Structure 1
Amino acid sequence: MKAIFFSALILLGTCNSMPAQNVGNAAFANKLNRLLDHAIPAVDVAHVDTAAVFLDAREPQEFRVSHIKNARSVGYDDFDIASVKDLSKDTAIIVYCSVGYRSEKITEKLIDAGFTNVQNLYGGIFEWVNSGRSVVSDSGTSQRVHTYNKDWSQWLLRGEKVF
């Protein structure tokens, strides 16, 4: 009986540690599962709270090409927690980048700074666009997405790739 109990406990623990987020492309999902730590809260595109504050953890030149509407650019290399000092610690925040790696690191910094309702956008802006969601630039709605470089551009399946 003890063996069954402990086996069930181990199985439940294993299932609980697996990422619950989804992306539409199996190869992209495999890449993300290897790339990300999965140690912080994440949300997939289908379950996004559009009323949340979106923080873009890409660099300014990437943000200028396009971004999620009303997103705030906070960057990655020069991220400063002071850039979000106007937000209360319980504000619903979704952080994104190209695929979720840089935004995962910024999400971690926000949590360490005391933010309690912050999530990483699983699959980043690539999955946002791949799912048919729109992005904008200073000129309005855009089809262009900065893909960081040619290697990463393979994961953007819709839109115009810019790198």
Structure 2
Amino acid sequence: MPSKRNLIAVLALLLTFCGVFTGCDTGSAVDDANLPAVQNISVAEAKALIDRNAVSVDFIILDVRTPSEYAQGHIPGALNLDYYASFEASLSAFDKTKTYLVYCRTGNRSASAARLMLDNGFAAIYNMQGGINAWISGGLPLET
């Protein structure tokens, strides 16, 4: 039978290990909350964002579809930057302090593009869920 002294030593050792392993990740939840994130928004929210920023030079609508998709119709005022053609390399030409609304056909490419933008230091990024298909379904205007 172990002595009382040995039992106390083992318990102290176990408590030390528990403290070490549970105390290693201090503050990560708080730090994560302060990191910028992509804001996924609906078509209605995107339209409201566009309307609120209609005259702002600090707001950019970015269509990440191919040039042929873009030519078939796009959100009025949108710039085209093809996600499949050196998208990440082209980001250096854009101002990281501006606000960007990013969209594609269905929302998949734009989600990836928005994530790349975030990883490259852009802070204010909105991804329009559902893409241009949802925009068209909502009866909203296109430019060709």
**Scaled by the length of structure 1, what TM-score is found?**
0.56
What RMSD in Å do the two structures reach over aligned CA positions? 1.7
Which runs of 5 or more structure 1 residues have no equivalent in the other structure? Answer: 1-38, 138-163
Q: Which residue of 1 aligns with 2:127?
A: 120
State the 1:69 CA deviation.
0.8
Match of 2:77 among 49, 70, 78: 70
Write out the 4+ residue segments of structure 1 that deviate beyond 4 Å after TM superposition.
none
Identity of aligned residues (%): 30
CA distance in 2, matches of 1:114, 1:74: 18
CA distance in 2, matches of 1:108, 1:91: 16
1:45 aligns with 2:43: yes
SS in 2 for 1:108: helix
SS in 1 for 2:123: coil
State the 1:85 CA deviation.
3.4
State the 1:79 CA deviation.
3.4
State the 1:43 CA deviation.
1.1
Identify which of structures 1 and 2 has the higher relative contact order when contacts are C-alpha pairs closer than 8 Å and 6+ apart.
Answer: 2
CA distance in 1, matches of 2:138, 2:64: 20
SS in 2 for 1:135: coil
Paired residues, number: 99
Q: How does 1:44-123 map to 2 (within 5 A)?
A: 44-48=42-46, 49-50=49-50, 51=53, 52-123=59-130
State the 1:87 CA deviation.
3.3
Larger Rg: 2
SS in 1 for 2:143: strand
Which runs of 5 or more structure 2 residues have no equivalent in the other structure? Answer: 1-36, 54-58
CA distance in 2, matches of 1:69, 1:77: 22
**Scaled by the length of structure 2, what TM-score is found?**
0.63
- Contact 2:38–2:124 under 8 Å retained in 1: no
State the 1:82 CA deviation.
4.6
Match of 1:135 among 117, 120, 142: 142
